[in-house]
Amino acid sequence: MKKQCSECKKEMGLFSRKIKLNDGLLCADCIGLIKKVGMVDIIGRMANIQYQKVKEIYENKKALAERFEKDFQLGNMLIIDNTNQLLVIDGVLLEFKNLKDVETKYQYSESVTTNTNSKTKKGIGKSLMGGLIFGPVGAVVGGMTANGKTKSASQTTTNTFCSSAKLVLTLQNYYIAKYYIDLNVSNSELRSVGCSSIEEYGELLEAELQQIIENTKREVI
């Protein structure tokens, strides 16, 4: 039996790109439309949502997307429309009033490198590798001779780096309560917003969103 797209009724083959809904399917073209109106957040959850609900969210977002006028942009992650009280974060279109809270979450990992040198350098190496947050923490191990010179030494350097960064949005009057945004952006994206680390970028995004939340609260009161 041939399968059909719930929206455009196009027939789909076994290998056609499609997304399952709770009670139907969407074809690649219709998924493209959904992405265009800032519904990226819904794509991972389609299997739990009924076609009628998806359609309803789509109509709502489409109306908002048509109104959208850019006032401010931060890198590729955040676009703000103050006039219509809208924002696009990581491709997701939201109304200011949908934002309830925002926080950033970071996970750190360590990598340990050991260098064996025949000569001891003064102090611990100062060179910083790209992506390091904390300077290298090292320990010089080796036999010191009476005159303070070292015959052989090995230097262990522990590098702590941010292995995962997420922006967590708590939402209200919206069809999902939490949305997680991956902040693993490229170095050129970081440079474009004047940040030297993911944490700095996360802080910047969090501050912008907090401000929206505060301002929106004030207007409601």
Binding site for Zn ion (CB under 5 A): 5, 7-8, 10, 27, 30
Nearer to Zn ion, 51 or 161 (CB): 51
For the bound state, the minimum distance from the C-beta of residue 217 to Zn ion, rounded and expressed in Å, comes to 40
Beta strands in 6-149 (DSSP E): 11-12, 18-21, 24-27, 72-74, 78-81, 86-89, 92-95, 99-117, 137-144
- Pairing, β 137-144 against β 150-171: antiparallel
Nearer to Zn ion, 7 or 95 (CB): 7
For the bound state, the minimum distance from the C-beta of residue 171 to Zn ion, rounded and expressed in Å, comes to 27
For the bound state, the minimum distance from the C-beta of residue 7 to Zn ion, rounded and expressed in Å, comes to 5
User: Which of 159, 165, 180 has the alpha carbon at shortest distance from 107?
Assistant: 165
For the bound state, the minimum distance from the C-beta of residue 33 to Zn ion, rounded and expressed in Å, comes to 8
Nearer to Zn ion, 8 or 139 (CB): 8
Residue whose CB is nearest to Zn ion in the complex, by number? 5
Nearer to Zn ion, 30 or 40 (CB): 30
Return d(Cα 68, Cα 86) in angstroms, integer. 7
Inter-residue contact 123 to 136 (CB < 8 Å): no
